[in-house]
Chains A and B, each alone.
Chain A
Amino acid sequence: MKNKQLIADAREIISPLKSFTGARIALGHRGSSMPLNANLEFQLAHAQARDAVNIPLDFAQLAQQLHSEEIVRLQSAVEHHAEYLQRPDKGRLLSLSSLSTLRDASNGNPDIALIIADGLSSKAICSHAPAVVNQLLPAIHAKAFTVAPLCLVKYGRVAIGDPIGECLNAKMSIVLIGERPGLSSPDSMGIYFTYQPKSGKTDAERNCISNIHQKGLDYSSALDKLMFLINEAQKLKLSGVQLKDQTESAVKSQQQCHQNFLLD
């Protein structure tokens, strides 16, 4: 809608603050309601996010972009997308055929099982997983950790890392997964870290590094956090709420940090 009114409104003149956040600030108001432009922008973003949920991940293309010699393609017990949305329990289990594929691929007792699952945003995985994995693998190897064959899982939930890690007899699991698409970030990726993964682990026993996307956490901050978790978990022999992230916040390290102008 191109209805440009000239309005002197304190609630719109703060729009330069948009440089600090992607949040929908400085919208102004008509009466006390939201201006139509803001509503139309919202509807556009909602339509895009709704569609993003339904785009399937191209696993073949993903595999080509990963610098890993051994890749195993797996599927959860879910058979189609509608079922994926309604049956999280099945998304946490491997299909029987995938379980046997994984057994065949198993190589001793690796330190780390590395898993990529589509989750709720294929776009997140396409955009970020190759770069993160291709930086992560050398970092892991540099620390002399052994890694199981890289697992790509269709229709996977976060806890799919538990049966996979258990089957591989891995000491730790790392799950990269597409997060639920937001209006302003349809391509946000999360990383979940679990020490001694096995079926029945609770969410309190995992650590999460979320919001990895262009306007969120950058790759190197995410990797710093992940390497910290790996090292600490080795010492403490656990993960989850008792393993506190002691890395300096992303704000302070890699990201551009803005002073809080309200307190200058």
Chain B
Amino acid sequence: MYKIRLAEVSYDFKNLRNLLAKASPARSGDVLAGIAAENNLQRVAAQWVLADMPLTRFLEEPVIPYEEDDVSRLIADQHNASAFQPVAHMTVGEFRDWLLTPAASSETLQSIAWGLTPEMVAAVSKLMRIQDLILVAKKCHVVTRFRNTIGLHNHLSTRLQPNHPTDDPAGIAAVIVDGLLYGSGDAVIGINPASDSLSSTVTLIKMLHDIIERYQIPTQSCVLSHVTTTLQAIEQGAPVDLVFQSIAGTEKANANFGITLDLLAEAHQAALSLNRGTVGNHCMYFETGQGSALSANAHHGVDQQTCETRAYVVARQFDPLLVNTVVGFIGPEYLYDGKQIIRAGLEDHFCGKLMGLPMGCDVCYTNHAEADQDDMDMLLTQFAAAGGTFIMGVPGADDVMLNYQSTSFHDALYLRQLFNRPPAPEFLHWLQQHEIFDKNNHLQACAELPELFARPLTPLLN
């Protein structure tokens, strides 16, 4: 079943897990795990075998046994056989070809999302070039709502990320004002706290809540503490909009994050019960990234891109408002350079969207990776071309707390100008009302501060 003879060499890939790993486009993390293709020919041979693999095979042969891993169990439990029906007769290769045809319309793709397992989706992505990943992802529409509407066709949202190395309230407020003046923050105003302590988490949650209330900003807040800390905050009555958690694609990798599926379910219920959304109640915010399972030594011999896609099964179980692949954050051990980061970002977006998730991407890199601003511009532009849901907004692209480079407020404006992508309509209305954006959805040049910020800021500016 897993054998092929190609260019006068015979290969036997033995099982699906190994086949997927060998067929995966090159990346340092799979080399580190000792599961990558040994040479180009072997990779292509694996892709040829994969192309002929029936999609049903993925239901018969879990890459991590059902008994050993609760994510495998979730995959099986989630699988919707009737949603799968329209593509059930296809091989992975046929599925790729079909995805590119008009028959795979936005509505059809939406209807099959819960019939696809993450391994099917990861497998087809391995046979797709970047232009395929972009074209198909662009057809997937995923709309979510809390205090505004995210993911509408040809829209682009941003997370305003006002991090500060000591969580200083004024330092955070300064970045929020700066970001709002460039129209950032409709996906969420989300702080990575320097301290995970309960008291400082609660302080930050209250502060964001008060700002959103005072200035009537149609958006939601999040403090990206550990889910157990956020649960305690909810118990204390803190006004939590979104519950955040980093998630991964195996039970053991999730354990390394200090979470279980039950814990996430408990957190989801707690957030739902607060009922703080106004136009919807999608109240979870998840972050993922290739390499997390390997980093926790919890990958079971499964390649990092397949592990990542398995995390999306965890995400969609809890109806998230936002899912963010923090693609270049993990470092060169897993994604070595700009080329690997770019492909991984687009794969994650494609796989997430095909599975029905509101996928954003933290287009980012660290200073020990072989990457620079030009690489990020490539990913940023392609991500938007693919219909990416949201990106980060960090002042000058430099996160002074997490010590990595993400995307700037200006980067989002570049995409808005290039592709004509406005933010969520409720938020856009607010921006226009305060003369931050003009009628054409562009940044409005202004010599003076918008009235709403003039009063609090004027004393500080003299």
The chain A residues found within 8 Å of chain B, CB to CB, are 8-11, 13-14, 16-18, 20-27, 29, 31-34, 38, 42-43, 45-46, 49-50, 52-53, 85-89, 120, 179-185, 188, 202-204, 210-211, 213, 215-217, 240-242, 244-251, 255, 257-264
Contact = CB atoms under 8 A, between A and B. Distances in A.
Contacts, number: 246
B255 A29 contact: no
Contacts of A23: 162-164, 171, 174-175, 178, 394-396, 398, 400
Contacts of B167: 249-251
Interface stretch (B14-22, B37-45, B301-309, B439-447): B439-447
Q: Which of A21, A33, A34 has the most chain B CB atoms closer than 10 A to its own CB?
A: A21
Contact of B395 (A27, A43, A260): A27
A216 B195 CA distance: 12
Contacts of A31: 417
A248 B396 contact: no
B296 interface: yes
Contacts of A203: 256-257, 296
Interface string B387-418: 00000001111111111110010100110110
Given A183-B367, A185-B165, A240-B258, A21 B181 contact: no
B447 A9 contact: yes
Q: Which 5 A-B pairs have the closest CB atoms?
A: A24-B396, A182-B403, A258-B170, A204-B258, A241-B258
A215 B170 contact: no
A216 B165 contact: yes
Contacts of B403: 179-183, 185, 188
Interface of A is mostly: loop
B32 A88 contact: yes
Given A24-B408, A42-B373, A120-B368, 6 more contacts: A10-B446, A86-B32, A87-B333, A182-B367, A257-B169, A259-B170
B169 A260 contact: yes
Interface string B421-447: 000000000000000000000110111
A261 B170 contact: yes
Interface stretch (B71-79, B83-91, B349-357, B448-456): B448-456
B103 interface: no
Q: Which of B166, B176, B331, B395 has the most chain A CB atoms closer than 10 A to its own CB?
A: B166
B52 interface: no
Interface stretch (B58-66, B122-130, B207-215, B264-272): B207-215
B372 A46 contact: yes
Contacts of A260: 169-170, 172-173, 207, 211
Given A262-B211, A263-B207, A217 B256 contact: no
A204 B367 contact: no
Nearest to A256: B168
A249 B195 contact: yes
A221 to B, nearest CB: 8
Contacts of B7: none
Interface in B344-383: 366-368, 372-373
